[in-house]
Amino acid sequence: MLIALTAATGLNAQQQNPHLTTDGGAPVGDNQNSQTAGEHGPVLLQDAHLVEKLQRFDRERIPERVVHARGTGAFGYFESSGDISDLTKAQVFTPGIRTKVFVRFSTVMGYRGSPEQARDPRGFAVKFYTREGNWDMVGINWPIFFIRDAIKFPDFVHANKPSAVTGVQDPNLAFDFFANSPEATNMLTHLYTDEGMPDSYRHMDGWAVHAFKFVSANGQVHYVKFHWKSLQGIHGLRPQEIAASIGKDWNLNTDDLYSAIRAGNDPKWDLYVQVLNPSDLDKFNYDALDDTKTWEGVPERKIGRLVLDQVPDNYFETTEESAFAPSRLVPGIEPSEDRMLQGRLFAYADTQMYRLGANYQQIPVNRPLAMVDNEDQDGAMNIGSRQGETNYEPSTLHEVPEDAANKSVNTALSGSTQQRAIRKPQNFAQAGDYYRALSAQDKSDLITALSGDLGRVQNSHNKYTMLAYFYKADHDYGTRLARAIHADPAQMQAIAATLQD
């Protein structure tokens, strides 16, 4: 049948498609015409290539990421510099060691294919394929976040995603949430500056946001924060430049990144770390493990360099199927007690398992270069290499020598469980410090950008509550915002007087 039908076209099957095969590897032949029952008959179900082609097309899409759906990935390497064995036993930081990485940049709230010039944090996720397994550093382009407790994360996302009724993002919903979340004042102030709208993924810094722990070979623990510093400099779009930029190229960040790499202008970032002794955590007038705060006055120490030098060959198999989770750690790096981080340890790995299946870490972009040896088995699309009958632990039939050096050293915890707010919230001070450090132009652009959204808020209580937060951070800041949206400064000041620092 196939020979007769293709012969009728006057073309030999191999001449038409010398390279094309079915998923089973058989030559396709005619990829332009379906098999039919005669010249005018219906299409035949026996056309296995047609059926397979349509079936595969119907199943091309997987669940989109709820957040960070709009992403761009690149391969590269991290080269460690300096000896920090006094802080951590993680081998990725052995001086001179080069570690392959995959980096995924992203916006947060936009759907896949949405404009990259969104007033949104930028994801900055790095997968290190280390000798000891994969380490994921999952961060953004700011050192802080909107909320300090993961129990609020679904609500934060729902309020900032498109409306459940209209399907359009609505500042009335976003600021309704923020008016009841004063800890977001610092992040909002950062977000609405020019740096909050990077003109390129190359022109922004990255942070892991949360505190983590370094554990040395002798079990000594330090708290650390990670910071990627762009060697290309920092540059963002001013409010009046955004619309023109979207009209010109709403894939601006992706096109810029890939063009730079293809031209041999490989983007680079230096990795710095801040370090605190556990005994120093309580020396601040805010909670040092609160992710809405930066560690003021704590010096940074350079520990390596990131270089991106390869554009992926396939978007779906890399950028879309890549899976990051802050719980993916290696010996010598552990999570802190940061409440937001603790929730992310579960949620990120769980959402990737939902999107990609239980065996998502066997997908090439997620697969460790280090040997994987565990007793997990089966599940959809399992292509692992577990062998033998001992699919359980403990076992004397399949013993593995214990490597004491790689055993985790978990920091001892004490006390009873609780469910209450942190003792030192200090919701406004750092936002004020940041505002006062801005240049005159940056302050003006911040007021322009923020008032554009805040001025659209219809609920008077929410509008004046937000103004009070910004006024509490800095009187000039709040007053200029009030004038920009034609609000009553006296009403704003009256609410601010009732707020605690």
1 confidence band (pLDDT: 50, 70, 90): very low
Residue 6: its pLDDT value, please? 40
Opening angle at CA 104, ends 100 and 109, nearest 5 = 165
Burial class (CB in 10 A: 0-12, 13-18, 19+), 465: buried
What's the rounded Cα separation, in Å, for the pair 349 and 261? 30
Dihedral over alpha carbons 340, 345, 346, 348 (to 10 degrees): 90
Residue 11: its pLDDT value, please? 45
pLDDT digits (tens, 9 = 90+) for 37-82: 999 989 999 999 999 999 999 999 999 999 999 999 999 999 999 8
Residue 403 pLDDT more than 70? no
33 confidence band (pLDDT: 50, 70, 90): very high
Q: Are 132 and 331 in contact (CB under 8 A)?
A: yes
Residue 253 pLDDT more than 60? yes
Residue 399: its pLDDT value, please? 61
Q: Are 463 and 454 in contact (CB under 8 A)?
A: yes
Residue 214 pLDDT more than 50? yes
pLDDT digits (tens, 9 = 90+) for 450-473: 999 999 999 999 999 999 999 999
Residue 16: its pLDDT value, please? 59
Residue 127: its pLDDT value, please? 98
What's the rounded Cα separation, in Å, for the pair 89 and 409? 11
Q: Tell me the CA distances in angstroms from 369 to 91, 132, 135, 157, 372, one per residue in order.
A: 14, 9, 11, 34, 9
Residue 406: its pLDDT value, please? 54
Dihedral over alpha carbons 104, 63, 143, 368 (to 10 degrees): -50
Q: Which amino acid is at 311?
A: V
Residue 232: its pLDDT value, please? 98
Residue 198: its pLDDT value, please? 96
Among candidates 344, 432, 325, which has minimal Cα distance to 148?
A: 344
Residue 9: its pLDDT value, please? 43
Could you write out the DSSP letters of every residue in 35-47? -BSSSSSPBPTT-
Read off the pLDDT of each residue in 129-148 and give the average, rounded to a whole number: 98
Out of 105-119, 132-146, 386-400, pick the least confident: 386-400
Residue 481: its pLDDT value, please? 98
Between 321 and 16, whose confidence is greater? 321
E-assigned strands of 311-436?
333-335
How many other β-carbons are positioned within 10 Å of the β-carbon of residue 419? 5
Residue 456: its pLDDT value, please? 97
pLDDT digits (tens, 9 = 90+) for 405-438: 455 556 666 666 788 888 899 999 999 999 999 9
Q: Are 177 and 155 in contact (CB under 8 A)?
A: yes
Between 283 and 405, whose confidence is greater? 283
Q: Tell me the CA distances in angstroms from 213 to 276, 411, 478, one per residue in order.
A: 9, 9, 37
pLDDT digits (tens, 9 = 90+) for 231-245: 999 999 999 999 899
8 confidence band (pLDDT: 50, 70, 90): very low
What's the rounded Cα separation, in Å, for the pair 100 and 308? 10
Out of 51-60, 175-184, 189-198, 416-425, pick the least confident: 416-425
Q: What is the percent of the chain with per-residue pLDDT over 70, rounded to a whole number?
A: 93
How many other β-carbons are positioned within 10 Å of the β-carbon of residue 142? 22
Average pLDDT, the chain: 91
Residue 72: its pLDDT value, please? 97
SS3 at position 308 = strand
Phi, psi of 376 (to 5 degrees): -70, 150
What's the rounded Cα separation, in Å, for the pair 302 and 405? 25
391 confidence band (pLDDT: 50, 70, 90): confident
Strand partners, 300: 274
DSSP at 275:
E
What's the rounded Cα separation, in Å, for the pair 324 and 336? 18
Residue 250: its pLDDT value, please? 87
Residue 411: its pLDDT value, please? 65
Residue 14: its pLDDT value, please? 43
What's the rounded Cα separation, in Å, for the pair 13 and 280? 74
382 confidence band (pLDDT: 50, 70, 90): confident
What's the rounded Cα separation, in Å, for the pair 49 and 480? 66
145 confidence band (pLDDT: 50, 70, 90): very high
442 confidence band (pLDDT: 50, 70, 90): very high
Own/partner contacts of 310-314, CB < 8 Å, gap of 24 or more, are 310/74, 310/75, 310/76, 310/261, 311/74, 311/258, 311/261, 311/262, 312/73, 312/74, 312/75
Taken in order of first residue, the domains within the chain and their CATH numbers are 2-58 (4.10.91.20), 71-147+197-362 (2.40.180.10), 429-496 (no CATH)
pLDDT digits (tens, 9 = 90+) for 298-355: 999 999 999 999 999 999 999 999 999 999 999 999 999 999 999 999 999 999 999 9
Residue 154 pLDDT more than 80? yes
Q: Are 492 and 471 in contact (CB under 8 A)?
A: yes
